[in-house]
Structures are given as structure tokens and as C-alpha cells.
Amino acid sequence: MIRNLLFSLFFFSGIIIISIIFIPAFFLPQKITLFGGKIMGYWTSFCLRVFLSTKIIIKGRENIIKDKKFFIASSHQSMFETFFLQTIFNSPVFILKKELLLLPIFGWHLKKIGSISIKRNKISKENLSFFNDISKQINLSDRPLIIFPQGTRLLPKDRTPFKKGSSRIYEELKISCQPIAINSGNTWPKKGLKKINTILTISILKAIEPGLQKEIFLKKLESVIYSELDFLN
């Protein structure tokens, strides 16, 4: 309990402090704010290692796609991946709930780094331009897009089918997909106390190349990520 309290105190205090320190970056080039995001990622891993004695392992670095555009599709079990993946990849472009952009300071940073917002489970004028916004961002940047095809944080053993939106993105962008399986929920669950002395693994899987039918892509993506999670558990 004490280690959980210390983790929460230092982690959230650090995120707030970093956000405040980088307020001047609102008026500076975007790369300054992106650097702040990487610091948050390293701070996250530091707090896990120090306060929860978490061992963080990165598997499959050799599978990272290089020299061409791609998007990342990652499992989602905790807040960990939203911060830490920025340290592995080139400052990914996030797709996130519109409400997050309304948060004071932190939400402003999310907007500054070019995050793409969507209103969940709603058809609106704002959502109609969603795929156009993604295409523009990818075409104008060398940063990869990151999506969480499960749609929300899930428990480690939850095998909810992936959302169809990820296959639509694959079909629209016509670029490679980098699947990632992360068992972060075994350390940092969506609800309840965080676990001590665990192994948190980020498994970077082989790319799924463009050209598949979107239904086949979705089944393959779900299969490779859930199979890896079963192995990690």
C-alpha cells in the first residue's frame, strides 16, 4: 500500500511538473513539446522501477519498421503505454477522446503535438473528417500514428474483439502496421492496487504489410496481439 501511494504521489506530481515546465513550449516549435512527451515516458518507467520494482523488458526491437511510413496498433491495459511508447518510437501521433484535449495544461500539450480527437460512439460533423485528418497528418509527418484497437483499457485476460476502426485506418492509409502487445495490466491494472516485483513486457511484433482485405487484416491483428499476450501471461 505504501509503495502504491509513493508511486502515485511521485508519478502524478512529476507529470504535472513536466507539463508546467513545458508551458512556454506552446509558443515554440512542436519538437520542444514532443521532447517533453519523451521525458514523461522516461519518468513513467523510472517511477515503476523505483517504487514498484518493475522490470521492464522490450522484445522484438529488430521488428521495428524503418525507412517507410507505418502505424502502430497496440494492446491497451494501462496508462503505461500512452507514455512509454514515446520513448521507443518517433513521438507517435495519438488518437484520443476529445475530452482529453479539454484538460487544463495537459490537454493543451496534447493538442500542440497534433493529437487527433474523436467523440466515441457518436456520429458527428467532427467525426466525419476523422480519416481525412489522419491522412493529412501521416502525409505531412514522419511520425507514426498510434491506435489502441481495443478501444479502451482492458483487463489482462479480456479478449474483447478489436474495433473495426483499426481496419478502416489500415484500408485508408495503405501503409504497414506495427503490432505491439504489452502486458502492463499485470503491473498497473485499470482498477485496484498496482503490483510489486512484476515483469512488464513490451513485445514489438512483425509488421503486417498493406494490401490485405480489411476484414482479414483485423483478424490477423487481433490474433497476433492476443496470442502474444497469452504467451506473456
Q: What pLDDT does residue 125 have?
A: 47
Q: What pLDDT does residue 67 have?
A: 86
CA dihedral for 102, 125, 145, 81, sign (positive or negative): positive
In 3D, which of 212, 146, 209, 154 has the Cα closest to residue 180? 146
Q: How does pLDDT run across 72-129, given as a tens digit for each residue?
A: 999 999 999 999 999 999 889 888 777 777 777 777 777 777 777 776 555 444 555 6
**What is the separation of C-alpha 114 from the centre of its chain, rounded to a whole number of angstroms?**
14
- The domains of the chain are located at 58-195+202-232
> Mean per-residue pLDDT for 10-22?
94
Q: What pLDDT does residue 124 have?
A: 44
Compute CA distances 13 → 1, 18, 80, 158, 215, whole Å.
18, 9, 16, 31, 43
Q: How does pLDDT run across 29-66, given as a tens digit for each residue?
A: 888 888 999 999 999 999 999 999 999 999 999 999 99
Residue 175, C-alpha cell as written in the block: 501503409
Q: What pLDDT does residue 150 have?
A: 92
Q: How does pLDDT run across 140-197, given as a tens digit for each residue?
A: 778 899 999 998 899 999 999 999 988 999 998 899 999 999 999 999 998 889 999 9
